[in-house]
Amino acid sequence: MSTERPLLFALQGSEHYAVRIAQRLGCQLAVHEERDYEDGEHKCRPLESVNGREVVVFHSLYGDGRQSANDKLCRLLFFCAALKDAGARHVQVVTPYLCYGRKDRRTQPQDPTITRYLAAMIEACGVDRLIALEVHNPAAFNNAFRIPAWNVQCTELFAQHFARLVGDDEVVSVSPDSGGAKRAEQFRQALELQLGRSVGSALMEKHRDQATLTGTLLAGKVQGKTAIIFDDLISTGETLKHAGLACQKAGAVRLFAAATHGLFTAGSRLFDRPLFAHIAISDSVPPLRLPAECVTQHLHILDSTTLVAALLAENGAFDRA
């Protein structure tokens, strides 16, 4: 058993994220080979000996133009299994964005619970520990995995960011739906701590009449305040837009939005008529579906690698000579 420092690997597309973590931990990414075959299959293998070593593998599991989320998932799984075969002592996976987080419970009869299947497959490939950034449903995630699986929440990161911006404004933390209420409340508390003064809370909820969506319920005071809508991810951006409009209508004087994962699956549509002073996201998913000017004008991308690096270093594994 080696007492050397862990080896860090980043699969294709996740190098930029991983290299910043490596720098924070004072090391370099280890080298591996990813080979694509003409039939769409692939082969990954480490080029440095992993026998007896602790290993960390980085891969953010969003689909992009070249690889689907499934493609990235399979690469990650096969690579981790290969590391174990090659004698790696402990394989830790970091997924800045963990896919299938919203397929987390049965809502219709015979529905899949993909979060759990993912966990079973990850375990079947010999992964010893998983670190994910801001998962969609922490309760689902906490129960799905039987290996240690840790959810790194980005609340602090966003609280620090907005504390610097809001000046003396009255601020309210807004959850865009009831499912995110706990998350928005945690953000509210973190922001209170940063600001040293009271922050309000508000909650949106869809309003239905005999199964038709008829409007949006807004609980809490936003009138005359700076409203920060807080969510885990932005997909098409519709949820955010509705929440923004409701806050605007209710008299909010300034609007911000924050979400760890910026997927922007509808492209720049959210920015056609800008509602928000800006939207803060993390670096878990690069804004690949947005034009450059959208990114520079409307987004603030916060660096989440400090959080992950701190967690990786927590048990002293990187203190070795």
Footprint on residues 32-91 left by its own copies (CB under 8 A) = 37-41, 43-47, 49-54, 62-63, 67-71, 73-75, 77-79, 81-87, 90
Please list every residue from 156 through 175 that binds its own copies, using CB under 8 A. Answer: 175
Task: Give 29's DSSP letter.
Answer: B
Task: Give 231's DSSP letter.
Answer: E
Please list every residue from 221 through 240 that binds its own copies, using CB under 8 A. Answer: 235-236
**What is the token pair recorded at 217?**
């319920």
Smaller CB separation from its own copies, 200 or 274? 200
Please list every residue from 109 through 138 that binds its own copies, using CB under 8 A. Answer: 109-117, 119-121, 123-125, 129, 137-138
User: Would you tell me how many other CB atoms lie within 10 Å of the CB of residue 268?
Assistant: 16
Known catalytic residue at 206: yes
Catalytic residue, from 43, 72, 103, 206: name it. 206
**Least Å from the CB of residue 172 to its own copies:** 11
* CA dihedral (233, 110, 106, 77) positive or negative: negative
**Least Å from the CB of residue 233 to its own copies:** 9
291: contact with its own copies by CB under 8 A: no
C-alpha 185/C-alpha 199 separation (Å) is 10
Please list every residue from 240 through 269 that binds its own copies, using CB under 8 A. Answer: 263, 265-266
Calculate the alpha carbon distances from 90 to 16, 50, 54, 138, 282 in Å.
23, 10, 5, 24, 28
**Least Å from the CB of residue 240 to its own copies:** 14
12: contact with its own copies by CB under 8 A: no
Please give the backbone phi and psi of residue 115, each rounded to the nearest 5 degrees, phi first. Answer: -50, -45
Smaller CB separation from its own copies, 175 or 305? 175
Please list every residue from 199 through 218 that binds its own copies, using CB under 8 A. Answer: 201-203, 205, 207-211, 217-218
Mask for 302-321, x = binds its own copies (CB under 8 A): ------------xxxx----
Contacts 24+ apart (CB under 8 A), 177-186: 177/204, 177/205, 177/206, 177/239, 178/203, 178/205, 179/137, 180/230, 180/231, 180/232, 183/153, 183/155, 183/230, 183/231, 183/232, 184/230, 184/231, 186/153, 186/155
**Least Å from the CB of residue 257 to its own copies:** 18
Active site (catalytic) residues:
206
